[in-house]
Amino acid sequence: MTVERILAAKHADDGSVHYLSASSPSDDSHAVCHMVPDRVIPVIFVPGVMGSNLMNNKNQPVWVVNSGPGMLAWSWKDAAYRKQTLNPTNTQVFHSGDRPKGTPLTDAEKISRGWGTVSKKSYGDWLVWIQDALDDAHAGTNHGRNGLRNSLIKQVVAPGLETLSDEEVELSYQYRLPVHAVGYNWLKSNHDSSQYLAGEIKRIMDDYSKRYRCEKVIVVTHSMGGLVARHCSEVLGLSKKILGVVHSVMPAIGSATAYKRVKAGWEPGNTIEEGIGRNVLGATAAEITAVFAQSPGPLQLLPDANYGNGWLKIRDGGQFVSLPEKNDPYGEIYTQRGKWWGLIDDKLINPLDTNKVNVDHDWEKFQSLIDNKVKPFHAAISLRYHAHTYAFYGDDKVHKAWGDVVWRRTLPKPNQFSTSTPPIAKPLELEGKWDSRTGAQRVIDRTKQPFPPMEEFVLQPAEENGDGTVPIRSGRAPMPYTKACVAFEGIDHEGAYNPLPCRLFALRAITRLVSNVKGTSMEYEAC
């Protein structure tokens, strides 16, 4: 009886496939090679803000997120250092961050796939998991029969979603699905990052096309990476090269959390690790503003016109004043100079200018970013999504986010002489006198003379379900434009791809998107 010897495929660093068989005495066995598909659909992962590794123009790494402890040095960096170091004009993508272990890929192959351009801390486990799930046609899974994709024929990954069909799963095994990562300079405008992504997609496809047929990709994003991908697909016109897009925790219409962090610093969190993270990312308005005010990418995370009116509230007892009123957060909030409730304190823009001799020029540069980078980018991607979009977001009561931001007046306690305090007539016109830069401000009312009283307003905790960064109103905003848009509990923003249900949602979407090759040049001809 003839015995089959299964030869496993080996991928060389250049992407070529080899089968090795040791010489042996003559017997009745023969080698069997399971052929690797010669048609390739790269799966391209686009990270979120702060999720790409950066170096300066002298090729020195400045932001490399390999691990939490590895970022500790940032806890002692002041606003001036942050402004100098994290400058969009002086930085570029760093390609040599640590790569995760756990896949058969060689280190050289991980580097060539861009895995070193993204945060190992945030995405290392996810890249390994999705790569293994998409490259499981080996003996360990009975050549895919016991793989995760095959399990989705019977397993429902979220309520309301149907299972995959046998045909969908079978078709996905007829294509190689190598996972690439495209880190980008998150300090720059997402318009620039979109152009960079477009160039990387072309480069990756061209490289595979030297040996295989490769004419389409699938894009998977995290957070702000979704904005980059939407612009690349719908504004730059790469949608025909993209079979579909999978978004996770995307601030589709922005997030008021961005405003909160500029005004009060990063929130402290509930654990030691989260507390350390706050100091790394910026514990005060001064540390955040120094970077934020010069960086179009982070500014583009602010609420856009589609976010709606009234998300910034000044509360005085039972009285509220809400902004924006005319769906113009750019003019009504972001570029309001000298207002205690405005986005930016102009004195914090440039900590290098200690005497503030250039404060007017610094403000003009910031306002130009809002007018010429932020507002046009928001308008360009407004309500625009790839025709085959899948998305998930956080809807968790533990990880609340700022859907609205509320400044609440601290009222004196009633006493025997006074039982109530009259509301302030015009709270938007109060004059700022002191700012804790962590969420408390003291102001005076100049209309009350001769002794204007000092009043205090305190920024209130987040109240909207979300993932800790993106509120549900923004996370679910893509719903009318998607094939599926699903809420998950128990996810935090950075670790959105850590829970198994979220991973399976993405795997299901990728597997289904492969079917979009039908009717294209990547489709196999019927025999």
- Per DSSP, the residues of 122-163 read HHHHHHHHHHHHHS--SGGGTTTTTSHHHHTTT--SSTTPPP
Please check whether residue 348 lies inside any domain of the structure.
no
How many angstroms from the chain centroid is the CA of residue 124? 15
Q: Say whether both 29 and 73 belong to one domain.
A: no
Q: What is the pLDDT of residue 277?
A: 72
If asked whether residues 312 and 446 sit together in one domain, one would say yes
Q: Range of 456's domain?
A: 307-342+404-461
Q: For 225-254, what is the mean pLDDT?
A: 99
pLDDT category of residue 170 using cuts at 50, 70 and 90: very high
pTM: 0.92
Let me know whether 23 and 110 are in one domain: no
Maximum CA extent, the chain: 108
Question: Crossing angle for the helix pair 285-292 and 256-264, nearest 10 degrees?
Answer: 120
Q: What is the pLDDT of residues 4-28, one digit of tens each?
A: 444 445 545 555 554 454 555 555 5
The domain boundary residue, chosen from 461, 490, 508: 461
- The enclosing domain of 188 has a CATH number of 3.40.50.1820
- What percentage of the chain exceeds 90 in pLDDT? 81
How many structural domains are present in the chain? 3
Q: Report, as an integer, the average pLDDT of 430-437.
A: 97
Residue 230 in contact with residue 482, Cβ under 8 Å?
no
- Lowest pLDDT segment from 65-74, 321-330, 492-501: 65-74
| Residue 367 belongs to some domain of the structure | no
My answer on whether 47 and 128 are in the same domain is yes
Domain shared by 196 and 216, yes or no: yes
Smallest Cα–Cα separation from 305: which of 340, 334, 329? 329
Mean pLDDT of 450-476: 96
For residue 143, the model assigns a pLDDT of 54
331 within some domain? yes
pLDDT digits (tens, 9 = 90+) for 40-50: 999 999 999 99
- List own/partner pairs for 230-235 with CB under 8 A and 24 or more apart: 230/381, 230/384, 230/385, 230/386, 231/190, 231/191, 231/194, 231/377, 231/380, 231/381, 232/194, 232/195, 232/197, 232/198, 232/201, 233/386, 234/381, 234/384, 234/385, 234/386, 235/194, 235/380, 235/381, 235/384
Write the pLDDT tens digit of every residue in 399-408: 999 999 999 9
The stretch 402-417 carries a mean pLDDT of 85
State yes or no: pLDDT of 238 exceeds 80. Answer: yes
User: Per the domain annotation, does 358 fall within a domain?
Assistant: no
Per-residue model confidence (pLDDT) at position 147:
81
Residue 365 resides in a domain: no
| Confidence check: pLDDT of 514 > 70 | yes
Assess whether 55 and 99 both reside in one domain. yes
**Residues 75, 61 within the same domain:** yes
Residues 93 and 230 in one domain: yes
When pLDDT is cut at 50, 70 and 90, the band that residue 70 belongs to is confident
Mean pLDDT of 56-79: 93
Same domain, 54 and 178: yes
pLDDT 10s digits, 276-293: 678 889 999 999 999 999
Find, among 78, 378, 91, the residue nearest to 252 by Cα. 378
Domain-located, residue 324:
yes
pLDDT on residue 271: 60
SS3 annotation, 310-342: CCEEEEECCEEEEECCCCCHHHHHHCCCCCCCC
DSSP 8-class letter at 172: H
Q: Is 2 left (phi over 0), alpha (psi -120 to 50) or beta?
A: beta
Query: Domain check: are 10 and 155 in the same one?
Result: no
With respect to residue 21, please indicate whether it lies within any of the assigned structural domains: yes
Q: Tell me what the pLDDT averaged over the chain comes to.
A: 92
pLDDT at position 86, please? 97
In the prediction, which pLDDT does 208 show?
97
For residue 201, pLDDT over 60 is answered with: yes
Same domain, 396 and 414: no
Which amino acid type is present at position 302?
L
With respect to residue 443, please indicate whether it lies within any of the assigned structural domains. yes
Q: Is the pLDDT of residue 517 over 80?
A: yes
- The answer to whether residue 198 scores a pLDDT higher than 90 is yes
Could you say which of 413, 428, 461 is where a domain stops? 461
pLDDT digits (tens, 9 = 90+) for 339-363: 999 999 999 999 999 999 999 999 9
Clarify whether residues 190 and 179 are in a common domain: yes
Q: How far is CA 223 from CA 227, 229, 237, 260, 493, in A?
A: 8, 10, 21, 18, 8
